[in-house]
Chains A and B, each alone.
Chain A
Amino acid sequence: MTPLQTFHLAHLPPDLAIHVALYTDVQNAPILRDQLLQGNPDFEYALIEASVILSTTHVLAAVFRAANDHLYARLKSRNVHSEIVFSLGANNNIAQSLRTFGITSTTTNLLVIKLSTDPGITALTVSEHLSTSIQGTQVDFNDATLTNMADIAKVRKLYKLGGVEEDGSKGKRRRKDGTEEGSGLIDGASIKDSERVRKELEVAILGLMALKGVV
């Protein structure tokens, strides 16, 4: 079985461990969601719909922001875990972000995050609780797995990134000399191109998450 993965992000306090588990074929999403709605403290996790997550950097950037706001004691939502979900959004609407990026009753690809905000929360306690609570297949949390789960068209729509690196976008024009301008995707994209497109989408999303709708 894939074990729970534990990270430490740059700049955050070294004792603030970040525990991450990724699941596919989740069977009990409605129950999990109910626990969140009821505010059951045993289920204080960031429960994220993994199909709208582009990459590890995408979601860990949200963790970074939420953790920083937690350390400054200026959370906008209920706790640091709901704040992670809120931080994925590109505006200041908490309810909307939770609805969009949080677990729904039909979620099958589920990303679970828990921060060690107190010493009692350890990789062991978290993995024990998850193993009895989540009915699904645990898989590696990495870019390859997330890419497979991601619904790119949906991600583009959520962040209103129709133009970025999409064929025929406004970011791309053909110059008189026939070479390409801007950062457009060339027809018949190779793997290298699709990797570049993903990176370009990612950086656009990080920018929108950072701005939170300031325009």
Chain B
Amino acid sequence: MNHPPDPPQDPLPPPFTHNQPTPTLLTQGAEALLYRTHFLTPSHPCALKYRPSKPYRHPILDKRLTRHRILSEARTLVKCRREGVSVPGVLALDAEGDGASGGWMMMEWIEGRTVREVLIEGAKRRKDDRDEGVGEEWEEGMRLMMGKIGRVVGRMHEVGVCHGDLTTSNMMLRPLDKVQQNGEATNGEHVRRFGEILQGDIVLIDFGLAGQSLQDEDKAVDLYVLERAFGSTHPEAEEGFQEVLRIYGDSYKGAKVVLKRLEEVRMRGRKRSMLG
């Protein structure tokens, strides 16, 4: 049988053409390709986000858009990191490229998995050993993780950044490092076996659509998008989402007002889907 050829992959521009080493492609989104590679030395892993040029766009417009997107994402990441929001740091970028190939940004590599992946695996494992009394442990782990999400999002909003695409794919759960893990091991076998899936720090990623905003509306829309993401992909986690909002509400001064606004955004969303 004939297999259709793989879709042509945009080759990386220099300096990555020297294959010293060759970056490994991880995901290919609509706008960007995400590679794993290393920064200056093999002991410094990093993520490489490449935005290839789009042949269907006018070259001048294309160049301007690529440049804008790379700089905008990098600018937001740098601001967040400086102000204590947990995000990957920016290591290097080239927003210009050679004029034909697009541009790239290197950022710190975040160990772990996206929250989406964690929740999907968690739900699966929970089904598998349903009656071992892991339910409570899972609930507790979820509660803690949700709280961490609420806190990180709250901090991001507090410093005046709105994410623009706040889904469970765009936040990662970074496992605790070895030292911390050993410390927690005293909690017993049970916790490690199941609860460890949910342990770690939340790191926000993918700031391609982010921007600086102090508007309650923009912040409320961030929360709404996240709520919908939980509701659609992880219905079993929907209840736990209340914990995100609870911790968010206590996390900075204007948070309560944003929660109020969220109710309005929900109403509009419902109306729209009724008309829809």
Residues of A in contact with B (beta carbons under 8 Å apart): 8-14, 57, 60-61, 64-65, 67-68, 71-72, 74, 161, 163-164, 169-172, 176, 181-184, 203-204, 206-208, 210-211, 214-215
Q: Is B139 an interface residue (CB 8 A)?
A: no
- B219 contacts the other chain (CB 8 A): no
- Give the chain B neighbours of A215 by CB distance below 8 A: 75
Instruction: State whether B82 touches A210 (Cβ < 8 A).
Output: no
Q: Judging by beta carbons under 8 Å apart, are A10 and B37 in contact?
A: yes
Apart from A10-B38, A10-B40, A211-B90: 12 A-B pairs, beta carbons within 8 A: A10-B41, A57-B39, A61-B91, A67-B15, A68-B14, A71-B14, A163-B82, A182-B83, A203-B108, A206-B90, A211-B75, A214-B74
CB distance from A214 to the nearest CB of B (A): 5
A10 / chain B contacts, CB cutoff of 8 Å: 20-21, 37-42
Q: Indicate if the CB atoms of B78 and A12 lie closer than 8 Å.
A: no
Can you name the residue of chain B whose Cβ is closest to the Cβ of A13? B18
Contact A204 B82 (CB under 8 A): yes
Task: List chain A residues, Cβ under 8 A from B92.
Answer: 61, 64-65, 206, 210
User: B161 interface residue, CB < 8 Å from A?
Assistant: no
Output the residue of B38, B82, B91 with the most chain A CB within 10 A: B82
CB contact list, B42-61 vs A, under 8 A: 42, 44
Interface size class of B (residues with CB under 8 A): 35 or more
What CA separation (Å) do A74 and B18 show in the bound complex? 19
User: What residues of B have a CB within 8 angstroms of the CB of A72 in the complex?
Assistant: 14, 98
- Using known A-B contacts A11-B20, A181-B155, A211-B78, determine if residue A206 contacts B84 with beta carbons closer than 8 Å: no
- Residues in chain B near residue A9, CB distance under 8 A: 40-41
A57 to B91, CA, bound (A): 10
Is B89 located at the chain interface by the 8 A CB criterion? yes
Taking the closest CB of chain B, its distance from the CB of A61, in whole angstroms, is: 6
Tell me which residues from 82 to 117 in chain B have a Cβ below 8 Å from any Cβ of chain A: 82-84, 86, 89-94, 96, 98, 105, 108
Residues in A with CB closer than 8 Å to B137 are: none
* B89 and A203 form a contact (CB under 8 A): yes
Alpha-carbon distance A170/B82, docked complex (angstroms): 9
With A14-B20, A64-B92 in contact, do A208 and B78 touch (Cβ < 8 Å)?
A: yes
Q: Which residue of A lies closest to B23 (CB)?
A: A11
Bound together, the chains give a CA A176 to CA B147 distance in angstroms of 14
Q: How far is the CB of B108 from chain A (nearest CB, A)?
A: 7
B63 is an interface residue with CB less than 8 A from chain A: no
CB neighbours of B91 from chain A (8 A): 61, 203, 206-207, 210
Q: Name the residue among B93, B96, B155 with the largest chain A CB count within 10 angstroms.
A: B93
Return A37 CB to nearest CB of chain B, in Å: 30
Check: B77 CB closer than 8 A to any chain A CB: yes
11 examples of A-B residue contacts, CB within 8 angstroms: A11-B18, A13-B18, A181-B155, A182-B84, A203-B81, A204-B82, A207-B77, A207-B90, A208-B78, A210-B91, A210-B92
Distance between Cα atoms of A71 and B42 in the complex (Å): 22
In the complex, the chain B residue whose C-beta lies closest to that of A164 is B82
A102 to B69, CA, bound (A): 32
Collect the chain B residues with CB atoms within 8 Å of residue A71's CB: 14-15
Q: Are the C-beta atoms of A163 and B83 separated by less than 8 Å? A: yes
The verdict on B121 contacting chain A, using a C-beta distance below 8 Å, is no
Per the bound structure, the CA–CA distance linking A184 and B155 in Å amounts to 14
CB-based closest 7 A-B pairs: A182-B84, A171-B84, A203-B89, A207-B78, A207-B90, A11-B15, A210-B93
